[in-house]
Structure 1
Amino acid sequence: MVSVYLLLFVYVFIILWIFSFIFLYRKQITCMAGMMIAMTIGMGLGLTIGTLLGLLYPDQFFQMTVVGILIGGVLGVIAGLPFSIMAVLDGFLSGAMGGMMGAMLGVMITTEAINATFNVMVILSGGILFILFLMIQSEVKFKENDWKNKLFFHRLPLFLVILFAFYLTHHFSITTTNNEIEHYEHTNESTDKDLHEDRHDH
């Protein structure tokens, strides 16, 4: 099974790639495009992260909803910061709504459809981020002999990284992860119960 840490590293790398592009070329991006960027990132990532939290911890609906709202809102705010207060507000509201809806979706999914739902959400968010990358490129004028061109002018590197993320996601099982979490919690409960009984006997 694919390690959850490897999966997390690849996803964070993609998000940082997009955010770096935004911050480095923020002066060339219009306010309207900035609002669109903040809304897209907040809603897309908030929805995906909220869904993942709901899938992993369906018994803690309230907590996961709050966490999903906060994560989506914060990502939207960060994406809107380089542009304007309107972009910040747009990003926060979109991210909060995406995180809330994602958590609601995650807790309603049956066990049989957990992995399929996760794959769909990752493909959806990955596709949205790549299209967003293309949109930002259309707003930016690249200069010759600039070191930043090597990272952001070519589309193939990010596309290959996103495809690699899809491949890892396809070989990752949330059901197995849930079983490990439940086993860990059950072991802790059994240990606490044994300690309580030992104290009672003494």
Structure 2
Amino acid sequence: MSFYHFFVLSSLGLLTFIVVLWTRTLKKVLATMQGMVISMFFGMNVGLTAGVLLGVTYQGNLFLSTILSMAIGILAGSLCGLCFGLLSVLEGFMAGLMGGMMGAMVGEMIRADQSISLVQIFLFLSVSTLFIIPILATPKGSKVKSKKWILKPLTLAAIIIILMISGDSIAMRFEDQKAVLTKPNE
């Protein structure tokens, strides 16, 4: 595995940690159905991201990439749903399972250079869970009390942009190294 793979998988791990801590602190504010939505959305996106990444990495071994990506998606979705009860755990479990299977199949079918764009899109969707949580936690009919609320989404957007730019630069280095390694000796 390259540094790019480590970057994507560690980003998913850190994101899972953040989402689980955040949902745990908001479990009194969020309803069970909202917890199910969060765990399903997060489990599916993490499973898809890991699936595409591992499907390309282990091309030719669909079984291994499917099992690994399903395990990652199931773990992320189930941990996220744990705060909200059994239904949320089941929702996250099944969404992670399905996302991992679909991601591994897509990763098996595409070239490595195409996978970088897909991994970035799915990583962005996984990180966008951080936008969904505060939206779902907002009480119905609440009004904005100050204009400082704009700082939260702007800060989150800046973090996502930094994550995507750093992931893109790591991916480009990965592609350059792969091209040098696969170049025939002259």
Cα deviation for residue 8 of structure 1 reads 5.0
SS of residue paired to 2:114: helix
Contact persistence 2:46–2:123 (CA under 8 A): no
Residue aligning to 2:156: 158
Pick closer, same or farther for the CA change 1:125–1:6 going to 2, 3 Å: closer
Pick closer, same or farther for the CA change 1:66–1:3 going to 2, 3 Å: closer
Residue aligning to 2:14: 13
Where does the alignment leave 5 or more consecutive residues of structure 1 unmatched?
141-152, 183-202
Structural mapping, 1:117-128, within 5 Å: 117-127=118-128
- Largest Rg, 1 or 2: 1
Cα deviation for residue 28 of structure 1 reads 1.4
Residue aligning to 2:28: 27
SS of residue paired to 1:58: coil
Cα deviation for residue 13 of structure 1 reads 3.3
Q: How many percent of aligned residue pairs carry the same amino acid?
A: 27
Q: What is the letter of the counterpart of residue 161 of structure 1?
A: I
Q: Could you give the per-residue CA deviations for residues 110-164 of structure 1, whole angstroms, max 9, x where no partner exists? A: 244232222332233333x233233244259xxxxxxxxxxxx933333222111
Q: Could you give the per-residue CA deviations for residues 12-33 of structure 1, whole angstroms, max 9, x where no partner exists? A: 4333222211011111110110
Pick closer, same or farther for the CA change 1:7–1:92 going to 2, 3 Å: closer
Residue aligning to 1:64: 65
SS of residue paired to 1:166: helix
Contact persistence 2:45–2:123 (CA under 8 A): no
Cα deviation for residue 62 of structure 1 reads 0.5
Structural mapping, 1:175-186, within 5 Å: 175=175
Q: What is the letter of the counterpart of residue 53 of structure 2?
A: L
Q: What is the letter of the counterpart of residue 132 of structure 1?
A: I
Where does the alignment leave 5 or more consecutive residues of structure 2 unmatched?
141-150
SS of residue paired to 1:164: helix
Contact persistence 1:53–1:68 (CA under 8 A): yes
- Does 2:100 correspond to 1:102? no
Q: Measure the CA separation in 2 of the matches of 1:91 and 1:177.
A: 37
User: What TM-score does the superposition give when structure 2 sets the normalisation length?
Assistant: 0.76
Pick closer, same or farther for the CA change 1:95–1:8 going to 2, 3 Å: closer
Q: Measure the CA separation in 1 of the matches of 2:71 and 2:177.
A: 24
Q: Measure the CA separation in 2 of the matches of 1:52 and 1:41.
A: 17
Residue aligning to 2:91: 90
Structural mapping, 1:37-76, within 5 Å: 37-76=38-77
